[in-house]
Structure 1
Amino acid sequence: MRPAIIAENLTKRYRLGKRGTPDRNLTETLSRMARSSWNMLRARSSETTVNDFYALRDVSFQIEPGEVVGIIGRNGAGKSTLLKVLSQIVEPTSGRVEYQGRMGSLLEVGTGFHPELTGRENIYLNGSILGMTRKEIDAKFDEIVQFAELTQFLDTPVKRYSSGMYVRLAFAIASHLEPEILILDEVLAVGDAQFQKKCLGKMRDVSSHGRTVLFVSHDMTAVRKLCKRCIMLGKGSVVAEGDTDTVVSKYLEAEGSLTPAGQELAIDSYARMGNQEAKFVKLAYYGASPEQNVTSGGPMTARMTIHAEQPRVADSMSVILFDRGGYKLLNADTMVLDRPIELKAGENVFEIRIRSVPLNPGIYTLGLWLCKRPSRIYDYLEAVCEMEIVPAPDDNRMAPPVDGVIRCDFELVV
């Protein structure tokens, strides 16, 4: 059986400069032609002052039919450019792509939609683009509408949709019109928690029917659940490829550097999910005091600064600890306290104090979560930093992996 996707030496180069870039649009071209000869000469003389930027450089891989493959990497690594090249939205500078079957893509919000057309009309438009007949689209229409939960807005022009409504409809179309290859870019970054759960379930269903899925996400938990294989990009090149556990571990190790206890991090620009109506902008963690490390079995405090543009109320704020493979080990969530969190406009400072951290010594990844129930996610950062839990001074236990991860108290009865 032939691979579903073959990518060979894909390179995408952009030429950056004030004038004379080859990616000029028609309006710019006509304006330039209308200039005086003297100005044209000046423009031409400046064409030599350009810089080459490689969004992709010699990217090669193969994906077999029915595989679900994660594409991961930091912001700017080339993930979105790769998906645009694979989707034939962007031409590569060099290299080639070969794929078998119909391809459906959900990239940036609104891609593939005509803003003046209604949701109903865009369903048929997208189906036509995939090469489907009207009869085939009719057979899937009710399923798409039911999944998107947009019945009352079906005959509203999509230019009036919120970003969440856009994504719900776009995902419903892309996943239900049965392309052999489905490409998804950060589909879980917009939308509520219930919709994200539906997306994950649908992606599992799609893959179980033998269709190929490429999934880009910063949510390593979702990547681990869905993907058996991962490709990690860095600065436009493939830096790791293989089984998901191994590649995700490398990603988390590269993504976060070990942050000392007591050091305040500015995290405003970190990769995140959520609508960011309120967002974490600073974080510091420490043990029994701001100068002390977190010890195994000892206390931990996380001091967080949250910025809100307008007053907001949250009822779920949590500090999460993952192992380096992305498994969630600890979740200190204020939701169990049933205590609303009042956020004023501007900066708000909160502390979550964990009385005893039940983890053995080792390196862990710290994440943050802020939500308004039932499903309004304000902010979620899965990998803010890496932190070290050290042995207590009187602790003679062996370090993991011999002791495992979870610390437990026990006794011997004879």
Structure 2
Amino acid sequence: MSSEQIMADQDLGSAPEVVNLGLPSLHDVSPEVLHAPESEPGLRDNQNEPDLNIGLEPPKGKIWRMKRRTFMIVLGNVNNGASKSTKSKPKGSSTSTDPSPLPTSSSTHAPSVTITTSISSSPAPTPIRRNTPLAAVSWNTSNVQLFYKHTDGGIRLQENNGLQWGEQSPQITKPKDDSGLAAIGWLEGEVRQVRVYTASENNALMESAWNSSGNLWFNHDISTGNGIAPLAAGSQLTAFTWFENGVGRDIRVYYQGQDGYIREAAWNGTKGWWKGDSPTIQDFPRARSGTGLSFVSFPDTNEREAKLFYQNMDGKLRSYDYKPAATWVESWQNSTTDHGSIPNGTHLTAVLDTYGDMILRIYFIRDGKLVEIWWRKKDGWNSSNMHDAAAPGASAVSSSNDVHVFFQVKTEYLSALDLNRIAGEWQFTGVI
């Protein structure tokens, strides 16, 4: 087995590039006016229930939740999802267990939201590309790493240690100009592991590997010699990892192939990297060109039970659902849930919120707004606009007691909406 194939479990101490995450960041952000959530007419609210059986040195930068200007959104009982005041529920619509047809539109009522402000300060731009994809990882702790494209096209990151954001790192890798971006993270004892996935100039799938022990990055091609088909131009990416007792760690990366079908690249400690187990291309769905991709698993029931969200050929947000079964084909099944039309090529991100009631949250940008659609068993599907947004990139991650949604509030202004699930509040913050 080559050193590339065993990289997911090896010590990266020999990697050539070091990323310094401890430099100071002294800027604050003055956010745009925060919009009250409202219904998205293209989304389907209260749909049928989905099949869910379910050593960083502290930088002298900004405080995660302590800005000179802060917007607080009080959404009532956020621990159990959005409050009744934020949900868009058409009269007579189905509940999560109602098998009747899905409603065709949302209510046009804009729900009420409480907003508080404090002293303002001038914002500072982040040197990132306007159309950059975003990818965030956490380790179920307060640490978060956020990856994006710098204006020079290289992938860089910023890390938050639970208190403050550090300054952006040196370049990690420089992918193809239209490359997507995905990242995963996990803990091995006290060591934090991260893998970042991008496309090379010849459309090969690339992996950048890091751990907190060596604090070094190692980049390598995982397609060549492993039978992994090249990516379509502009393909977006999503990735997923889990640890199976008695078996070891597994990794899956999903992308759009040059024929339009969604493809799977797989890794484990025994086989290394290989083309996904699909017997034929057609066993995975064909997607609209440039489709957004987001993978979310359900560890409360089975870490291998998951949903892969994408835009189908009709332009609708759909999910392809995985439940472990005897064969690959039996495990993957098409979802019956139709979330309505979404913008072509919109970036998708999803996170499972397991604090209190389990809530599935999906985010994307449409018509200059950050949109959230969420599912909770007793309420079904609902949707809302959350904030103005100036670019298509979005990434959500759950860490400790919070959910973080990263996006650009204005061009080059990298921002976050942070849900404190204990306090039941959404808070707008700036990353740089």
Larger radius of gyration: 1
Higher relative CO (Cα under 8 Å, sequence separation at least 6) belongs to 2
Report the TM-score when normalising by structure 1: 0.25
